[in-house]
Amino acid sequence: MNGSAVPLLVLVGPTAAGKTGVSIALAGRLGGEVVSADSMLVYRGMDIGTAKPTPDERRGIPHHMIDIVDPDENYSVALYQRQARACIADIHRRGRLPLLVGGTGLYVRAVIDQYTFTPAGIDPEFRRRMQELADREGPAAVHRRLAATDPAAAAVIHPNNLKRVIRALEVYRLTGRSITSFRDREGVSGGLYRPVVFGLTMERPALYRRIEARVDEMLRRGLLAEVQGLLARGYSPALPAMQGLGYKEMAAHLRGEYTLEEAVALLKRNTRRFAKRQFTWFRADARIIWLDVGKYAGPEECAEEIALLAAGVWERASKK
């Protein structure tokens, strides 16, 4: 273990598991600041559908990597990696503890693991053709093309993650190499960090009830009006940002494709499926120390447990 490496507390888990409340309690307890690892929280003006923590919820704890680009700006995990690592370095320099918190597994790994991103550029015309294929025949058609071209990438990219499927095809087209060959996940990011990684979990029925309650709360807070406002400002429903959960379903309702009741049911179903994919992703990481949030009285008690466990890990590592 590199003694000069930055201590980094990482908190992951599926949507609606309670990461926001626990991370804020942790930051307050440990003198920390939160670095978001959520691919939707980077977008300005997308607050309700992303469950972005409000100023009141943040309780004065600084949050980074939130509200940094507009919904129509290009943003990549490679750019996120550079910016998040810069935030972590700055937090540590100021004598604070950085907490990397979120449910976007690729963002988390890009920070703490040795991820070297492809230098391949972009091919707008190719992207347009693949998008048209998806619109015409469905995302599965594009994924089948990836499976035929780059089986290694197709095995790890979900067919519904159209943006990543198209990017994998594009990289292979431009470089002749699988996008997976540009990424080395062995070891921790060149010894930059001393990460302790925690995951929040709970029984599936309880999590699904929380997901449904969260969706209902989003609607009460004005999710539909938020989506209407984004569309009125000229943001296309085809933008990657607008394909996020809550936005694509409400936009489809506003186009007349679903009744509101149907769109809400679809959103709840899609969010449950998303949570299952998050579980699958994180369960593959043996470094994660899992905590069942149902066993704690609330976020403060869970945060206390995490703080004690993290201190023990760092203490043992320092003696090696």
Distance CA 284, CA 201 (A): 14
Distance CA 271, CA 265 (A): 10
Spatial neighbors of 191 by CB under 8 A, at least 6 apart, are 2, 5
In a domain, 53, yes or no: yes
As a whole number, mean pLDDT of residues 170-179 equals 84
As a whole number, mean pLDDT of residues 212-223 equals 98
Helices (H), 77-195: 77-93, 105-112, 124-137, 139-149, 151-156, 162-175
- Name the token pair of 281: 């992703």
Mean pLDDT (the chain, rounded): 91
Cα dist from 296 to 30, 85, 202, whole Å: 19, 32, 11
User: Are residue 136 and residue 224 in the same domain, yes or no?
Assistant: no
Domain containing 268 equals: 6-117+193-318
Distance CA 288, CA 196 (A): 8
Q: What is the pLDDT of residues 274-288, one digit of tens each?
A: 999 999 999 999 999
Q: What is the pLDDT of residues 234-284, one digit of tens each?
A: 999 999 999 999 999 999 999 999 999 999 999 999 999 999 999 999 999
pLDDT bin (cut points 50, 70, 90) of residue 187 is very low
Beta carbons of 188 and 10 less than 8 angstroms apart:
no
In a domain, 262, yes or no: yes
Phi, psi of 98, rounded to the nearest 5 degrees: -80, 135
In a domain, 38, yes or no: yes
pLDDT bin (cut points 50, 70, 90) of residue 320 is low
Residue that finishes a domain, picked among 147, 182, 217: 182
Angle 211-254-234 from CA coordinates, rounded to 5°: 105
